[in-house]
Amino acid sequence: MDDIVIHYLEKPQLEDPVFVQGLPGIGNVGKLAAEHLKDEMKGVKFAEIYSKFFPPQVLVLDDGQVRLVQNEMYYVKRGKGKDLVVLVGDYQGLTPDGQYELADFVLKELHKLGVRRLFTLGGYGMGRMVTKPRVLGAATDKALVKEMEGHGVVFARGEPGAGIVGASGLLLGLGKVYDMKAVCLMGETSGYFVDPKSAQAVLEVLTKVLDITIDFAELETRAKQIDQITSKLREVEAVPEGPGKEDLGYIG
Amino acid sequence: MDDIVIHYLEKPQLEDPVFVQGLPGIGNVGKLAAEHLKDEMKGVKFAEIYSKFFPPQVLVLDDGQVRLVQNEMYYVKRGKGKDLVVLVGDYQGLTPDGQYELADFVLKELHKLGVRRLFTLGGYGMGRMVTKPRVLGAATDKALVKEMEGHGVVFARGEPGAGIVGASGLLLGLGKVYDMKAVCLMGETSGYFVDPKSAQAVLEVLTKVLDITIDFAELETRAKQIDQITSKLREVEAVPEGPGKEDLGYIG
Amino acid sequence: MDDIVIHYLEKPQLEDPVFVQGLPGIGNVGKLAAEHLKDEMKGVKFAEIYSKFFPPQVLVLDDGQVRLVQNEMYYVKRGKGKDLVVLVGDYQGLTPDGQYELADFVLKELHKLGVRRLFTLGGYGMGRMVTKPRVLGAATDKALVKEMEGHGVVFARGEPGAGIVGASGLLLGLGKVYDMKAVCLMGETSGYFVDPKSAQAVLEVLTKVLDITIDFAELETRAKQIDQITSKLREVEAVPEGPGKEDLGYIG
Amino acid sequence: MDDIVIHYLEKPQLEDPVFVQGLPGIGNVGKLAAEHLKDEMKGVKFAEIYSKFFPPQVLVLDDGQVRLVQNEMYYVKRGKGKDLVVLVGDYQGLTPDGQYELADFVLKELHKLGVRRLFTLGGYGMGRMVTKPRVLGAATDKALVKEMEGHGVVFARGEPGAGIVGASGLLLGLGKVYDMKAVCLMGETSGYFVDPKSAQAVLEVLTKVLDITIDFAELETRAKQIDQITSKLREVEAVPEGPGKEDLGYIG
């Protein structure tokens, strides 16, 4: 079989679309953010990606049917230069070479779809509890850095110190080869829990950049649930909240 | 060498055969069930599958001869729509990509043999002793779910929570691509021991579905032997039998 | 680069040669035996095999020069049906698929050299000290099993229980595909030490089979050195010598 | 995508250039040395190498821009037979086969550039603190061994006992195939810290061989900083400085 297979449910005609990706990673920040975006924007699924670089696994749906683990692409029609393509999924590639192959594959498909601008979303592990997550950035050129700074994205020298590992970084790194202008937005997160609050911080920036208005109620509800759990844990286990930041490096 | 090699001992002419697979996995439930079925039905071996995705190993038979570790296919002639193809074997693929390649390879061969309906057999690890194993199911479409429910198969929301990992799941997931109607039957098992009782539970469902009558004496004898061992162990080590179910996830 | 590269120093004309292989493995029994054989028979090196399935490593020779880790083939001219090809080397393949590829590659080269009969040498780990190592066997057909029994080789039901892992086994398993008659000779060994005594036991059988007379002085000297070390260790640490055999499985 | 991609910024015309490589490894000796050399010689970057054998990672530069992890080649024009090509980088290949592929790839590019002489730089782990690091050598032929001995390089029987693992060794081992004359220079280092002092020792030899004069002030400053840290650590933790050398084997 092919290493990676894409199955188009529909071939959408999009005008100069912007691409947004969020996959599982630290705090699941990117995945939560991208899924919330496509849900709120009523994205239409148009492609499924299977790969032997994913785990050999099917998921069992509530009705007893199975589906292979996959990545999925959704589109949102908003008009020329504002159309969206959103990629979410169950897994990132399992191996380093799988990560490269998947990133390259996605970039080739995006090129065909006319995408020239990318946003990858992820978490930035702080190793300590984070009350007000900042959104850190990295980009493929200086003009983008400036533009993002105007939207409150933090570009801090030496952060992230270990670079960006995984699909969020590779799409930028390999995107340069395809002449894609790309930004990675990373929400600060402890790295200990799934973090809807960090996902919201990332989305607040992204929606400002893309001139989108969405509701955050669902993320806020989930953040409250997580807060209740972690505050209980903190009573019991005294999770550190002070400085003592360690760079966990992985971003996803 | 080719990644996967199939060696046909015979090219059977089958009429709309049904495929059954049982490979090593949790509790060896699938392997025990499929081997018992082909033994009782006097299946005829017609193909051997070698692969560099299996361990680099030969087995030494009782007469001193060796054979490569392999998967094997047997057929049973029962008439149109009732013929069986049974796949058993020493190993599943060692790596994720090997699992994908092997599942895809088997599906291609099944397609040539005219197979359109698959049953994969496996165990569902409960993390506790199981007295009366239920048989859980997953399927490629809703009609099959309904049909299986009619035979007592349990489709429980959120079970298995972690999906189905390995060959049993992949054949369903990739089978959809080949337009195969497929069911995975999973016998509940502790996950601590080889489990002939769970294998019997799975086979009792399968034989009802396929309208087959077979003898279970051998599985029952083996189940009694295991029971004796585990009851002694329980006296000594107090293996938990209460609730405290953990989803071990792997099914095989 | 190619996955496996063979570099012929010479293309020997051999008459129906017999192949002998000994690579690193448990107790280094196979490697010691095969190297002793080619040294005593004054084998002439005629081919070197490099591969990316070996470690990325060079060895530094005593004169400061390097050489890539490799497998090597030597020939010995003794006349029709008695010529030898001996393969020794620094490593076996690192990965399962590498093991398969290397075994298949070697078999193809042997086929070109006119080889139809193989002997692979290895150790059989007992998990206890062995005073008088038996030589166990496995073969590709029943006639060979009988022939080897006539030379004192032991074919014991259920031994080795876990089969034969690695190059020694694969050459037999894949050799069948190339219509090679092949025997694996395994000297019993503790699995704790390099074992020249076991290597000698294996060679005593092999030389009888091949009607070769060689000197064992060097192996005997090395065996004595090891004996001195292990007897000292036994005083201090009480290494078990009694029964309590565990099947270590790996043979090499 | 291709397994390895080279992107030429410029196609330099070099006359019989000498190649120098230093990549991350034990004590980062090779990387420190090669980077210092190209910095002091004002090397001009002319090629970037990406590969799926490297980690799936981008680095974030101080200005917020990203770049894929890579290896880089620089040239220095000094005249016929004295031109330099220097390779430095973020990583070595992650897997054994990746190491082989990368070494073979680099050798092919060097061949096109007219390179016939290689120097690979690395550290030699001693497992103890080293006050005055010797520079050990290995080479592709005896004449080179002699020449290097004339420059104070130590070729000690049995050192390094475990051979040379990684890119430094492979370039020599595979270089023979491309008829390259190659030397590996290894600075003794504890293996516990980044070691600019060992890097300087290696460079002092190399610059003598290549008839180059460079300033070592920066390496000396960094060595002093490391010395201060390690001397403090020694007070506290008593890092062994006596004999007790263990061969750490890995060289890089």
Tokens (6 digits) for C31: 């490697």
Would an 8 Å CB–CB cutoff place A101 in contact with chain D?
yes
Say whether residue A172 is in contact with chain D using an 8 A CB cutoff: yes
Residue among B104, B155, B174 whose CB faces A64 most closely: B155
Q: In the prediction, which pLDDT does A237 show? A: 61
Do strands D4-8 and B181-189 pair parallel, antiparallel, or not at all (unpaired)?
Answer: unpaired
pLDDT in tens, B180-230: 999 999 999 999 899 999 999 999 999 999 999 999 999 999 999 988 888
Residues C67/C249, Cβ–Cβ less than 8 Å:
no
Q: Which two tokens stand for residue A10?
A: 């529909």
Q: Find the residue in A nearest to D67 (Cα).
A: A173
> What's the confidence (pLDDT) of residue D244?
38
The one-letter amino acid at A8: Y
Q: Are B95 and B53 in contact (CB under 8 A)?
A: yes
β-pairing, C181-189 with C117-125? Answer: parallel
Please report the pLDDT score of residue D156 as a whole number: 86
Q: How far apart are CA B242 and CA D32, in angstroms?
A: 60
Tell me: the pLDDT tens digits for B52-92?
A: 999 999 999 999 999 999 999 999 999 988 999 999 999 99
Measured CA distances, B245 to B226, C24, D84, D212 (Å): 21, 45, 66, 71
- Measured CA to CA, the distance from residue D17 to residue D114 in angstroms comes to 7
Tokens 């019997």: give the residue.
B200
The structure tokens 């050990």 sit at D136
Alpha-carbon Rg for chain A, nearest whole angstrom, is: 18
DSSP three-state, residue A47:
strand
Restricting to D residues 6-45, those with a Cβ less than 8 Å away from any Cβ of A are none
Q: Closest residue of D to C2, CA-based? A: D101
Q: Does C180 touch chain B (CB under 8 A)?
A: no
Q: What type of residue sits at position C218?
A: E
Out of D54, D64, D94, name the one closest to residue A137 (CB). Answer: D64
Q: Which of C16, C76, C29, C10 is nearest to C186 (CA)?
A: C29
Burial of residue B213 (CB within 10 Å: 0-12, 13-18, 19+) is exposed
What is the pLDDT at residue B227?
86
Angle among Cα A230, A236, A242 to the nearest 5 degrees reads 65
Instruction: Measure CB to CB from residue C139 to each of B55, B62, B64 and give the nearest one.
Output: B64
Q: Given B53, B58, B94, which is nearest C173 (Cβ)? A: B58
Cα D79 from chain centre = 23
Q: B247 falls in which pLDDT band (50, 70, 90)?
A: very low
Q: Which of B218, B117, B215, B213 is nearest to B171 (CA)?
A: B117
Q: Can you tell me the distance from the alpha carbon of B224 to that of B231, in angstroms, rounded to the nearest whole number?
A: 10
- Segment B146-164 mean pLDDT: 90
Of C225, C10, C15, nearest to C117 by C-alpha is C15
Which chain B residues are closer than 8 Å to C160 by Cβ?
60
Contact A100 D1 (CB under 8 A): yes
pLDDT below 50 — which residues of chain C? Answer: 239-251
- For chain B, list the domains and their CATH numbers: 4-237 (3.40.50.10900)
The string over D24-52, giving b where at least 16 C-beta atoms fall within 10 Å of a residue's C-beta and e elsewhere, is: bbbbbbbbbbbbbbbebbebeebbbbbbb
Q: In which band, very low, low, confident or very high, does the pLDDT at D249 lie, cut at 50, 70 and 90? A: very low
Instruction: Give dist(CA C230, CA B39) in Å, integer.
Output: 50
- Rounded distance between C-alpha atoms, residue C108 and residue C91, angstroms: 19
Contacts of D124 (CB under 8 A, 6+ apart): D26, D136, D159, D160, D186, D187, D188, D189, D251
Query: Would you tell me how many other CB atoms lie within 10 Å of the CB of residue A78?
Result: 17
pLDDT average, residue stretch D95-119: 97
Contact status, residue B138 vs residue B164, Cβ threshold 8 Å: yes
Quote the crossing angle between the two packed helices C167-175 and C96-112, to the nearest 10°: 50
- Taking the C-alpha atoms of residue D60 and residue D68, their distance in angstroms, rounded to an integer, is 9
Check: CB of residue B118 under 8 Å from CB of residue B175. yes
* Interface A:D, ≥3 CB–CB pairs < 8 Å: yes
Contacts of A109 (CB under 8 A, 6+ apart): A6, A47, A73
Which helix (H) or strand (E) segment holds residue A231: the answer is: helix A217-237
Q: In this predicted model, what pLDDT tens digit does every residue of B94-126 receive, in sequence order?
A: 999 999 999 999 999 999 999 999 999 999 999
Residue tagged 């990606």 (tokens): A49
CA angle A26, A30, A31 (to 5 degrees): 100
Asked if residue C172 lies in contact with residue B66, where contact means CB atoms within 8 angstroms, the answer is yes
Q: Sheet containing B18-22: give its strands across.
A: B4-8, B44-51, B71-76, B84-89, B18-22, B117-125, B181-189, B135-139
Q: Contact at 8 Å (CB) between D94 and D55?
A: yes
* Strands (E) located in B23-169: 44-51, 57-60, 66-68, 71-76, 84-89, 117-125, 135-139, 164-165
DSSP H helices, chain B, are: 29-40, 96-112, 142-149, 167-175, 196-210, 217-237
Report CA Rg, chain C. 18
For D110-166, give the DSSP string.
HHHTT--EEEEEEEEE-SS--SS--EEEEESSHHHHHHHHTTT-B--TTSSTT-EES
Q: Please, what is the angle between helix B29-40 and helix B196-210, to 10°?
A: 50
Distance in angstroms (rounded) separating the CA atoms of residues C113 and D28: 47
Q: What is the secondary structure of C9-78 as a DSSP string?
A: S-----SSPEEEEE-S-GGGHHHHHHHHHHHHTT-EEEEEEEETTS-SEEEE-TTSBEEE--EEEEEE--
Phi, psi of C90 (to 5 degrees): -80, -30
Residues of chain A with pLDDT under 70: 237-252
Q: Specify the pLDDT at position C244.
A: 38
Residue C245: the pLDDT is 38
Residue B238 confidence class, pLDDT cut points 50, 70, 90:
low
Per-residue model confidence (pLDDT) at position C233: 76
Please report the pLDDT score of residue C112 as a whole number. 96
- Chain D within 8 Å of C91 (Cβ-Cβ)? no
Asked if the Cβ–Cβ distance from B69 to C159 is below 8 Å, we say no
Question: Across residues B14-35, what is the average pLDDT?
Answer: 97
Q: Is C141 on the interface with B (CB under 8 A)?
A: yes
The whole-number pLDDT of residue C237 equals 61
Backbone angles phi, psi at C248, to 5 degrees: -80, -15
Mutation site for D-interface testing, chosen from C2, C52, C58 by largest number of D Cβ within 10 Å? C58
The pLDDT tens digits for D121-138 are 999 999 998 989 999 999
CA distance D118 to chain C (A): 14
Give the largest CA-CA distance in chain D: 54
Q: Which two tokens stand for residue B91?
A: 């190993």
Q: Residue D29: which of D206, D182, D241 has the closest Cα?
A: D206
Q: What is the C-alpha separation between A145 and A123, in angstroms, rounded?
A: 18
Phi-psi region of A218 (alpha: psi -120 to 50; beta: other; left: phi over 0): alpha
Subunits with 3+ Cβ pairs within 8 Å of B are A, C
User: What's chain B's length in residues?
Assistant: 252
